[in-house]
Amino acid sequence: MRFRLVHNNINVKDLDRSVSFYDKALGLTVTSRHKAADGSFELVFLGDGQTGHGIELTWLRDKEGPYDLGDNESHIALKVDDFDKAFRLHKEMGCIVYENKAMGLYFIEDPDGYWLEILPEKR
């Protein structure tokens, strides 16, 4: 028996804002959408166009208040081929929340407070 990673899910408050952020900050694009017939939720799947792994954004109509992200130790990691260019973009966007120069990585934060680790392609 073999398992294969397919996607990670995160819940978001403003679906359009999140889709825009993930496109601008990480180049992830919408691969599919699903809207509940009663409008109670909507799913948007994002992909990088290179791997089969994606991120599922879930919007819930009746969700009130922000999501509890705990201590924010959970995160999604992405490798980038031009680390310096990505760092400049994220600095300009104002979304860098933690940098570890000794380890050669940094974290950005999405509109809902989720942390995303950015790693150079080669370390």
Q: Is 117 a catalytic residue?
A: yes
Q: E strand or H helix at 22, and its extent?
A: helix 15-26
Distance CA 11, CA 57 (A): 6
Which residue is catalytic, options 42, 56, 99, 117? 117
Q: How far is CA 40 from CA 19, 30, 35, 43, 55, in A?
A: 19, 20, 8, 11, 20
User: Residue-wise over 17-44: b if at least 16 C-beta within 10 A, else e?
Assistant: ebbebbeebbebeeeeeeeeeeeeebeb
Catalytic residues: 117
